[in-house]
């Protein structure tokens, strides 16, 4: 996987290489599978994007990271289309008053590799706020060990 692949917010909804980056990094850091067995390859990428009952988003490794992935559950929760969310700087997923706390969490994960049990306020495209609960954020590293960004799994959320 080359650097340009991960730095661009290219439409890659069910791309197997991107799925592999998400799933392999998740399993390495968290010790669990991202998708149910026996799914693998394209079937696993399709399941994560179209059918997962939880939100998964990933941003790239830029200084001001942009989302490069959001499954349909995440698009619905945040209120953005694929085209919109993959052009959105990830910092804008939190309101101005919540960005500092979000950045502290991101920095902690950069140090530790991953963290689970996170809760925080996020904002939809409409401006409505909601609480994410029990989120897991993890570092994304390609097969050569290069940092490619971060991803989050959000199993629960509620409107505020």
The number of domains in the chain is 1
pLDDT at residue 6, as a whole number = 44
Token pair listed for 72 = 């349909």
Parent domain of 21 = 3-159
Give residue-wise pLDDT tens across range 29-38. 999 999 998 9
Nearest in space to 16 (alpha carbons), one of 37, 40, 38: 40
Pairing of strands 67-70, 114-123: unpaired
pLDDT at residue 16, as a whole number = 92
φ/ψ of 35, rounded to 5, equals: -125, 155
pLDDT at residue 153, as a whole number = 99
- Spans of the chain, pLDDT less than 50: 1-11
> Got the DSSP string for 60-129?
-SSSS-BEEEE-HHHHHHHT--HHHHTTSBGGGGS-GGGHHHHHHHHHHHHHHSEEEEEEEEEE-TTS-E
Determine the Cα–Cα distance for residues 82 and 15; give it in Å rounded to an integer.
Answer: 14
Cis peptide before 137 (omega within 30 of 0): no
The CATH number assigned to the domain holding 97 equals: 3.30.450.20
Determine the Cα–Cα distance for residues 151 and 136; give it in Å rounded to an integer.
Answer: 8
pLDDT at residue 3, as a whole number = 46
């Amino acid at each position: 996987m080359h650097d340009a692949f991960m730095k661009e917010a290219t439409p890659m909804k069910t791309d197997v290489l991107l799925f592999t980056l998400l799933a392999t990094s998740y399993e390495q850091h968290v010790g669990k599978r991202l998708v149910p067995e026996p799914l693998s390859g394209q079937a696993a990428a399709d399941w994560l994007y179209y059918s997962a009952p939880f939100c998964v988003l990933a941003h790239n490794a830029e200084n001001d990271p942009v989302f490069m992935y959001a499954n349909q559950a995440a698009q619905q929760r945040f209120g953005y289309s694929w085209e919109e969310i993959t052009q959105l700087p990830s910092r804008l997923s939190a309101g101005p008053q919540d960005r500092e706390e979000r950045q502290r969490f991101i920095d902690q994960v950069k140090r530790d590799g991953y963290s689970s049990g996170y809760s925080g306020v996020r904002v939809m495209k409409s401006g409505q706020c909601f609480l994410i609960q029990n989120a897991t954020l993890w570092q994304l590293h390609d097969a050569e060990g290069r940092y490619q960004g971060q991803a989050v799994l959000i199993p629960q959320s509620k409107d505020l």
